[in-house]
Amino acid sequence: MAKISTIGILTSGGDAPGMNAAIRAVTRAAIYNGWKVKGIYRGYEGLQKNDIEDFTSESVSGTIQRGGTILRTARSQDFMTPEGRAKAYENIKANGIDALIVIGGNGSLAGAQVLASEYDIPCVGLPGTIDNDLYGTDTTIGYDTALNTIMDCVDKIRDTANSHNRIFFVEVMGRDAGFLAQNSAIATGAEAAIIPEDKTDVDQLASFIGRGVRKSKNSSIVLVSESKKDGTGGAQYYADRLVHEYPEFEARVTILGHLQRGGSPTASDRILASRLGVAAIDALKDGQRNIMIGIKDDQIVYVPFNKAIRIDKPIDRELINVLNVLSI
């Protein structure tokens, strides 16, 4: 492999708290090792349009506590075409970039994999997504912050739910993965979680709620994944069915939406992003390429792109049992 002297870094897809901490870590670790850094704005879209500038240690000063991404992000349809990737590679060579570090989720790493397979450019990915759905890593950058944001919101919803004796369906992000819904349900003492990995029909849902009603609970809260995978609907779908089939219940729906992506990253996400960022540079130094940097049992691991993005990350069935036991 050709010697690396300059790396490029970009963020792509949905933003996640802790991305700036990762950008900071990659930039400073590269400079520490004598490499130059190119910041690529607006993800693969910016790579195609040559929206690239030199990054220094000062470029990332005071960013570790900031949410969002200072490099900004975008979803690029053009990059999905051979012509778009060819333009991106032209700009990679024109800027003297020898390796690319991509921070993002499933789609972002898939883009890096395709680019690396078509052109001789080493790519390393960092798992940056609140969904926590990338295989091979215990957690992803932004997941802990989003989980804490959801917990704070649901705690507040519980206050009003108790005052009105209502059932609240709270929809959270996660795409086709239920990690946010399942773990936030446990953390907030919710009565149920509806997730793609454990399809729940309305009769099962009613049994969960019924246990709470029989115990004279003042309210019931159900966390619902936004996914419609395998027929699983969103929060409004379940609320409508419940009110129609069980009119004795009064239901309300809260969709938390994009506030889950915002906010200052937690200490856990800042530390995780910092560790993964430094590890990405170490991986390139060791000649690694076309891998995602992950963490398993608190140890840095290298996960091939084809495993990280193509294998479904399983949810721990114990978590489902814990919620069922504690929701009585």
Full DSSP string of 239-269? HHHHHHH-TTS-EEEEE-GGGGG-SPPPHHH
Which residues, other chains included, contact 310 with Cβ-Cβ below 8 Å and sequence gap of 6+? 135
Query: Which one from 15, 51, 131, 176 is the annotated catalytic residue?
Result: 131
Q: Three-class SS of residue 217?
A: coil
DSSP letter at 81? S
Q: Return the amino acid letter for 82.
A: P
Rounded Cα gap, residues 255 and 266, in angstroms: 22
Relative to beta strand 167-172, strand 99-104 is: unpaired
78 labelled catalytic: no
Strand order in the sheet with 6-11: 52-55, 36-40, 6-11, 99-104, 123-127, 291-296, 299-304
Cα 174 from Cα 275, distance rounded (Å) = 24
Q: Which residue has the tokens 């963020």?
A: 11
Q: Which residues pair with 301 in a beta bridge?
A: 294
**Residues catalogued as catalytic:** 131
